[in-house]
Amino acid sequence: MYEERLRENLPLVQERVATALARAGRTDQVRLIAVTKSHPLEAVKAAWQAGLRDAGENRVQELDEKHSTLEADADVAAGITWHLIGHLQRNKVKRAIELFDMIHSVDSLRLANELSKEAVRAGITLRALVQVNVSGEESKGGLARGVDEIAEVANLPGLQCEGLMTMAPLSDDEALVRGTFADTRELLERCHAQKIGLHGSELSMGMSGDFEIAIEEGSTMIRLGTILFGGRVQ
């Protein structure tokens, strides 16, 4: 089922990505993260077989369950880069840094400090993105649009902060969505201008309903689930 969906949907998505890049005059590439949350292990395997090497999950427990089963399929297990894209509870941090290759959702200084502490304890450097809430929505997590808090996160030991992540409002107002992505890009530019310690220029922006706008505004990572796999199973 999932292989068939990807055979049909992935080329259409890739065409839309290429068109959005062209509209923006961009010659670089965008990393497509296949959001496998709430889908069974078959979706992960189908994504890998389709050539996708980045997968996103919302919850530590769900990847933990998939990971233990995936160990029997060494090629897939070794070939997938795992991205945590959902809110991370501080009591799940230790397991999260064991399972995930990158944490997109570093949404508070308290969480960042816990990640730093566990990364140092484990003797690793954890790749991370700082989640920002430039739209100011109360329903969304993330740091505000100021540079100072981002700098505090970026300079914690054990963390390699490679850029920013955001979510646009669920709205049909294209100007509002575009403004959120543009503001996030401009915030990243201010961070680099002030040399606060970020180690990259990644912008994790755009999901199934707004990824083309995100690409036009500079996104380097798009997080796509429904448009690839269909509705969630659970």
Which tokens in the block code for residue 126?
């954890």
Query: 3-state class of 163 per DSSP?
Result: strand
pLDDT tens string 69-107: 876 676 776 789 999 999 999 999 999 999 999 999 999
pLDDT tens string 25-56: 999 999 999 999 999 989 999 999 999 999 99
From 154, 89, 100, 146, select the one nearest 122 (Cα to Cα). 100
- Number of Cβ within 10 Å of residue 25's Cβ equals 7
pLDDT band at 17 (very low <50, low <70, confident <90, very high): very high
CA 167 to chain centroid: 10
pLDDT tens string 127-142: 999 999 987 777 777 8
Which tokens in the block code for residue 219?
């996104």
Residue 143, burial from CB neighbour count under 10 angstroms (0-12, 13-18, 19+): buried
**CATH level 3 topology of 2-229:** TIM Barrel (3.20.20)
Q: Are 197 and 163 in contact (CB under 8 A)?
A: no
pLDDT tens string 148-189: 999 999 999 999 999 999 999 999 999 999 999 999 999 999
Amino acid at position 72, single letter:
A
Percent of the chain surpassing pLDDT 70: 97
**CA diameter of the chain:** 49
What is the distance between the alpha carbons of residues 45 and 32, in angstroms, rounded to a whole number?
A: 16
Q: Look at 19 and 230; give whichever has higher pLDDT.
A: 19
